[in-house]
């Protein structure tokens, strides 16, 4: 009797698993580095899930269902968030979204942006100048009438806080599909870039995204290995005061990880924070005396500008004897910095720059995003 019951249970479990497999053809949650999204292929649709898409979000998720244009929407999904693909008209509320589209050769689909002054991409800027891509505003000042007039098939948004849900709700009330993109919260440089797989599903370009990311990943690890073979690790100071507060990346942050992978010794590495935090000038003075390299000082372009900002910087040993590099080589005339745009999908190029700065002579190529301040 006991054996018959066990057999019955096995048959039930097997049937349940088989039914599940008929529904889910291929779960593509194979992200190696990104934690903020999941892709799930089903029969007739693709399910995208986004997790905790703003700072300090906990147990928050959004699901989106991609249906190929012309196909019937399953009855079970009629009340879900539906996006018809491939998307042909998109509004981007972050310049990093443009970088992903550029890597997928889809910038021609952009019909609106937020923050026109910060756009670096030449193709989008050209279309902006021709009046094809208007600025739709920012945050609470979004121009919803203009957004509707642009007839977008999708608006890509990001959230700094939970108030972004007010924006998404308003757009959905206007029957405009919305999707949350949260690559900026990833701590791993490759995790940020891996969001190209997520974006690619919107344009049915999964294979192209996979190839792009594979090339980035391979080059990133080649460079990381090159830096790891160096015995000397220069001490690295990051940042400069902003509104009298000196913000530095947390020891577990995106930039801290990049510095470590480039063979640098980040002076804030002991922090367990994944987000930026404020240090005192006294603390910065100590680090400035220890550092061999100083990087990422906002838009400062010379040592003279550093001294003009605060004369006490001249007492930093790194100011007098070290190297100072800033990520402003691709700073646009309108105020945008391509480091924060295309650098998101090209972490290998950022890494290569930092290795060149930390270990002179190891890299032959010219710097892409950084330049030395003199």
Q: Does 346 reside within a domain?
A: yes
21 pLDDT more than 60: no
pLDDT of 190 reads: 98
pLDDT band at residue 2 using 50, 70 and 90 as cut-offs:
very low
Cα separation, 250 vs 187, whole angstroms? 10
pLDDT band at residue 22 using 50, 70 and 90 as cut-offs:
very low
8 pLDDT more than 70: no
Q: Are residues 104 and 157 in the same domain?
A: yes
Domain range for 37 is 23-214
Q: Does 142 reside within a domain?
A: yes
Q: Does 65 reside within a domain?
A: yes
Choosing from 156, 179, 214, the residue where a domain stops is 214
Q: How many domains does the chain have?
A: 2
pLDDT tens, residue by residue, 257-266: 999 999 999 9
HSE on the CB side for 119, CA within 13 Å? 26
pLDDT band at residue 28 using 50, 70 and 90 as cut-offs:
low
Q: Are residues 234 and 210 in the same domain?
A: no
* Segments in the chain forming alpha helices (H): 2-23, 95-103, 122-129, 144-149, 164-173, 189-193, 195-201, 206-228, 254-261, 281-290, 303-309, 317-320, 338-341, 347-358
pLDDT band at residue 26 using 50, 70 and 90 as cut-offs:
low
Q: Does 277 reside within a domain?
A: yes
Q: Are residues 206 and 265 in the same domain?
A: no
pLDDT of 266 reads: 97
State mean pLDDT over 88-95.
97
- Count the residues in the chain: 374
Q: Are residues 191 and 256 in the same domain?
A: no
Q: Does 10 reside within a domain?
A: no
119 pLDDT more than 80: yes
Q: Are residues 189 and 242 in the same domain?
A: no
pLDDT tens, residue by residue, 175-230: 999 999 999 999 999 999 999 999 999 999 999 999 999 999 999 999 999 999 99
Structure letter (DSSP) for residue 181:
-
Q: Are residues 285 and 359 in the same domain?
A: yes
Q: Are residues 54 and 117 in the same domain?
A: yes
Residue 37 contacts residue 52 (beta carbons within 8 Å) = no
CATH of the domain at 150: 3.40.50.1980
Q: Are residues 365 and 242 in the same domain?
A: yes
List the helix and strand counts (H, then E) for the chain: 14, 17
State mean pLDDT over 38-63.
95
Q: Are residues 56 and 147 in the same domain?
A: yes
Q: Does 6 reside within a domain?
A: no
Choosing from 214, 238, 259, the residue where a domain stops is 214
Q: Does 12 reside within a domain?
A: no
- List the Cα angle 221/95/157 in 5-degree steps: 105
Q: Are residues 196 and 253 in the same domain?
A: no
Q: Are residues 248 and 324 in the same domain?
A: yes
Share of the chain above pLDDT 90, in %: 82
Cα separation, 251 vs 268, whole angstroms? 6
Q: Does 302 reside within a domain?
A: yes
Q: Are residues 191 and 244 in the same domain?
A: no
Choosing from 184, 214, 244, the residue where a domain stops is 214
């Amino acid at each position: 009797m006991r054996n018959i019951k066990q057999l019955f249970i096995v048959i039930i479990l097997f049937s349940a698993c088989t039914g599940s497999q008929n529904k889910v053809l291929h779960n593509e949650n194979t992200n190696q580095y990104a934690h903020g999204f999941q892709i799930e292929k089903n029969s007739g649709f693709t399910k995208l899930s986004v997790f905790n898409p703003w700072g300090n979000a906990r147990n928050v998720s959004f699901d989106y269902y991609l249906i190929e244009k012309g196909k019937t929407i399953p009855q079970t999904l009629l009340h879900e968030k539906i996006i018809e693909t491939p998307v042909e008209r998109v509004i981007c509320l972050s310049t990093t979204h443009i970088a992903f589209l550029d890597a997928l050769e889809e910038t021609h689909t952009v019909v609106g942006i937020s923050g026109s002054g910060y756009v670096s991409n030449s193709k989008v800027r050209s279309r902006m100048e021709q009046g094809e891509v208007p600025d739709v505003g920012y945050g609470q000042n979004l121009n919803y009438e203009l957004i509707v007039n642009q007839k977008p098939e999708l608006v890509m948004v990001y959230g700094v806080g939970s108030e972004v849900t007010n924006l998404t709700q308003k757009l959905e009330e206007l029957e405009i599909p919305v999707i949350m993109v949260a690559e900026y919260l990833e701590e791993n440089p490759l995790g940020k870039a891996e969001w190209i797989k997520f974006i690619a599903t919107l344009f049915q370009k999964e294979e192209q995204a996979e190839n792009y990311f594979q090339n980035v990943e391979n080059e990133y690890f080649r460079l990381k290995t090159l830096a790891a073979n160096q015995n000397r690790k220069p001490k690295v100071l990051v940042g400069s005061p902003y509104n009298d507060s000196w913000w530095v990346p947390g020891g577990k942050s995106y930039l801290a990880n990049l510095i470590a992978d480039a063979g640098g010794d980040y002076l804030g590495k002991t922090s367990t924070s994944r987000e930026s935090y404020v240090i005192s000038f006294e603390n910065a003075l100590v680090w400035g005396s220890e550092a061999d390299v100083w990087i990422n000082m906002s838009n400062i372009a010379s040592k003279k500008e550093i001294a003009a900002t605060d004369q006490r910087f001249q007492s930093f040993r790194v100011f007098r004897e070290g190297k100072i590099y800033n990520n402003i080589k691709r700073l646009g005339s309108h105020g945008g910095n391509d480091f924060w745009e295309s650098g998101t999908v090209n972490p290998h190029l950022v890494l290569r720059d930092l290795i060149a700065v930390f270990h002179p002579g190891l890299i032959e190529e010219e710097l892409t995003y950084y330049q030395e301040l003199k």
